[in-house]
């Protein structure tokens, strides 16, 4: 069955209950505004801008989007892109696209104009819905985009080169569009994060979306009385697929604009959130604010918060130990996934396995995993190899890229490009990205292992380890280190701290700088390699 059936069911059984809430702490609202489908709660000056919709309104809104597209001749297998910041309109638009039989194509909100054009061409987009933050970028390429494409603006004042979303849907029917959807139908195209090169288009069927929804609800036991706080961008599979646990259980979700620790605590407190998905930098910021006294747990109502989980990147065990010191009653989980495996959940730790913090976990609900060598043979426990996953959430293909598809899809297995190993208990540990492994003097260095060690230093806020060119060793490990606010640190301090590492694993170059991360929290290592892999940056040629 398609996930849109859950929306219909929720509207029928829980129609008057709140489904989605939008919070914007940086914007205040003191007047009441009424839209045809939305009601804006009256705010006082000390409260954030807040909107909410019920399950019935959510479903009606999605139906209007579907019927609007169908009236414009857009339907089965056409591609409809979404270029919007997180907002109350995002998910109804997404679900409406699916209900029409079209393929939803979420765009990264950080895309430049050229990247928007590239992805629109690659995915053969027929319709682009975009928000006010993107008017300038769209206008700069509008002559190319308008060729056989419908541009729809989602906002207050529509630019002349687009049509108004509000006007288009205002008179559309809120009845079910009546399009039959099957598991085997194409549903969505997502784009790879770009941390290993230019984005690739990833095609998924409706079966993949349903798999993600069931996996999320199973892993975190999401119930009807839960409330999920969603902070990451909805264009990414991670945020949206975690929200699908709320869709399955017909429970509330809060879309929070802003990542400051006080914003997160205030949202959890005000909206009685029970499940929060954080990225490593946000969890780190919360802990630093608690350590400094800037944030005080006693100032908020947090007793109902039962689960904190992290995904999208390796999680330092030291971070979780610090977290549990402040929140000893929290359940904790980490999820591993790729857009090619419909986001989170093909591997997960499990709330019952907190004693294995540091591992990404075991095969997720309905998933299989194996670790293989360079010729595809499974390796033994304790041996490093490439992680492969298999399940109903694996992508159909890289759209219009059969060569790249053949490289990663083999006999139903998705070859992830991540190096991992299993311990004696069967738990999987992520060692590194295959492309990020540093070969130094014939030795394989795994940056994640070095990064995890460096993060134990009490002055280090964030760190990225990359390979830098070296005329004798081929590559050496370089550490780009971000120091905590208000602290100072020297190369000598770091070098002394690294004496605890085997000699061949010690960084040969220390660089103090910000560590760039993409919107899903992944370190942008290609950017760092481009920035620092130039002549003159290589450090001392120490002996192995």
Please give, one letter per residue, the 3-state secondary structure of 254-308. EEECCCCHHHHHHHHHHHCCCEEEECHHHHHHHHHHHHHCCCCHHHCCCCCCCEE
CATH of the domain at 407: 3.40.50.12780
H or E element, residue 189: strand 186-191
Q: What angle do CA 343, 232, 186 make, to 5 degrees?
A: 40
45: in domain: no
Stretch 348-370: mean pLDDT: 93
Q: Nearest 10 degrees: CA dihedral of 198, 335, 276, 248?
A: 100
The pLDDT value given to residue 472: 66
**What order of strands is seen across the sheet that includes strand 186-191?**
163-164, 150-153, 127-130, 79-83, 103-106, 186-191, 201-205, 397-398
Give me the pLDDT at residue 32, please: 45
CATH number at residue 523: 3.30.300.30
User: Which of 433, 467, 483 is where one domain is finished?
Assistant: 433
Give the number of other Cβ atoms within 10 Å of residue 398's Cβ: 22
pLDDT reported for residue 100: 98
Quick: pLDDT tens for 445-501: 878 889 988 988 989 999 999 989 887 677 899 999 999 988 999 999 999 999 988
Verify that 382 and 444 share a domain, yes or no.
Answer: no
> Does 301 share its domain with 271?
yes
Domain extent, residue 449, equals 438-532
My answer on whether 397 and 450 are in the same domain is: no
Integer Cα distance of 441 and 473 in angstroms = 4
Does position 543 have pLDDT exceeding 50, yes or no? no
* pLDDT tens per residue, range 220-240: 999 999 999 999 899 988 888
Count of domains in the chain? 3
Helix (H, G, I), strand (E, B) or coil at 163: strand
pLDDT digits (tens, 9 = 90+) for 167-187: 999 999 999 999 999 999 999
Answer yes or no: do 253 and 304 share one domain: yes
Judge whether 538 lies within some domain: no
Q: pLDDT higher for 467 or 306?
A: 306
- pLDDT tens, position by position, 393-409: 999 999 999 999 999 99
Residue-averaged pLDDT of the chain? 89
Res 34: pLDDT: 44
The pLDDT of residue 266: 97
Q: Identify the weakest region by mean pLDDT among 114-128, 215-229, 289-303, 507-521.
A: 507-521
Task: Note whether residue 512 is domain-resident.
Answer: yes
Residues 196 and 293 in one domain: no
427 and 474 inside one domain: no
Do 361 and 443 lie in one domain? The reply is: no
Strands 409-410, 79-83: pairing kind: unpaired
Question: Per the confidence metrics, is the pTM higher than 0.85?
Answer: no
Residue that terminates a domain, selected from 204, 239, 260? 204
Within-domain flag for 218 = no
Q: Are residues 296 and 379 in the same domain?
A: yes
Query: Do both 153 and 137 map to the same domain?
Result: yes
Task: Say if residue 310 is in the same domain as residue 405.
Answer: yes
- 80 and 169 co-located in one domain: yes
- 43, part of any domain: no
- The b-or-e profile of 480-514 (16+ CB within 10 A means b, else e) is bbbbbeeeebeeeebeebbeeeeebbbbbbbbeee
In a domain, 36, yes or no: no
- The whole-angstrom separation of Cα 499 and Cα 465 is 17
Tell me, letter by letter, the H, E, C secondary structure of 19-42: EEEEEEEEEECCCCCECCCCEECC
Q: Establish if 255 belongs to a structural domain.
A: yes
Q: Is residue 48 part of a domain?
A: no
Q: Which of 433, 456, 486 is the last residue of a domain?
A: 433
- Judge if 295 and 265 occupy the same domain: yes
């Amino acid at each position: 069955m398609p996930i849109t059936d859950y929306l219909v069911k929720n509207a029928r059984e829980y129609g008057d209950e709140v489904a989605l809430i939008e919070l914007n702490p940086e914007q205040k609202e003191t007047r009441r505004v009424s839209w045809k489908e939305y009601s804006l709660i009256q705010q006082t000056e000390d409260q954030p801008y807040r909107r909410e919709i019920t399950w019935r309104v959510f479903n009606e809104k999605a139906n209007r989007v579907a019927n609007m597209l169908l009236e414009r001749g857009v339907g089965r297998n056409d591609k409809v892109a979404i270029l919007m910041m997180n907002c109350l309109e995002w998910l109804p638009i997404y679900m409406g696209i699916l209900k029409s039989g079209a393929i939803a194509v979420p765009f990264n909100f950080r895309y430049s104009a050229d990247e928007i054009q590239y992805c629109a061409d690659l995915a053969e987009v027929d319709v682009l819905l975009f928000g006010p933050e993107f008017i300038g970028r769209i206008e700069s390429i509008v002559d190319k985009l308008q060729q056989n494409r419908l541009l729809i603006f989602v906002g207050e004042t529509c630019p002349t080169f687009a049509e108004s979303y509000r006007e288009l849907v205002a008179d559309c029917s809120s009845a079910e569009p009546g399009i039959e959807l099957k598991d085997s139908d194409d549903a969505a195209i997502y784009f790879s994060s770009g941390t290993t090169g230019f984005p690739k288009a990833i095609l998924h069927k409706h079966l993949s979306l349903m798999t993600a929804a069931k996996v999320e609800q199973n892993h975190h036991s999401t119930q009807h009385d839960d409330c999920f706080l969603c902070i990451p961008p909805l264009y990414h599979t991670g945020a949206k697929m975690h929200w699908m646990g709320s869709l399955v259980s017909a429970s509330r979700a809060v879309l929070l604009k802003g990542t400051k620790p006080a914003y997160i605590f205030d949202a959890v407190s005000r909206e009685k959130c029970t499940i929060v998905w954080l990225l490593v930098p946000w969890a780190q910021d919360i802990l630093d604010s608690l350590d400094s006294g800037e944030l005080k747990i006693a100032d908020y109502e947090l007793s109902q918060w039962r689960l904190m989980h992290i995904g999208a990147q390796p999680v330092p065990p030291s971070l979780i130990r610090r977290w549990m010191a402040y929140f000893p009653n929290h359940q904790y989980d980490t999820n591993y996934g790729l857009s090619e495996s419909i986001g989170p959940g093909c591997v997960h730790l499990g709330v019952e396995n907190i004693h294995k913090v540091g591992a990404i976990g075991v095969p997720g609900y309905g998933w299989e995993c194996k670790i293989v060598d360079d010729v595809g043979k499974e390796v033994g426990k304790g041996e490093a190899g490439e992680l492969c996953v298999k399940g109903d959430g694996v992508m159909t293909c890289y759209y219009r890229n059969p060569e790249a598809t053949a490289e990663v899809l083999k006999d139903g297995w998705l070859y992830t490009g991540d190096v991992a190993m299993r311990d004696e208990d069967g738990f999987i540990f992520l060692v590194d990205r295959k492309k990020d492994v540093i070969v130094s003097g014939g030795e394989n260095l795994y940056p994640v292992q070095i990064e995890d060690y460096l993060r134990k230093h009490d002055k280090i806020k964030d760190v990225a380890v990359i390979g830098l060119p070296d005329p004798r060793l081929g590559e050496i490990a370089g550490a780009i280190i971000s120091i905590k606010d208000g602290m100072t640190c020297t190369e000598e301090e770091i070098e002394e701290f690294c004496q605890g590492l085997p000699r061949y694993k010690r960084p040969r170059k220390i660089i103090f700088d910000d560590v760039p991360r993409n919107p899903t929290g992944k370190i942008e290592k290609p950017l760092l390699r481009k920035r620092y892999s130039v002549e003159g940056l290589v450090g001392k040629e120490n002996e192995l």
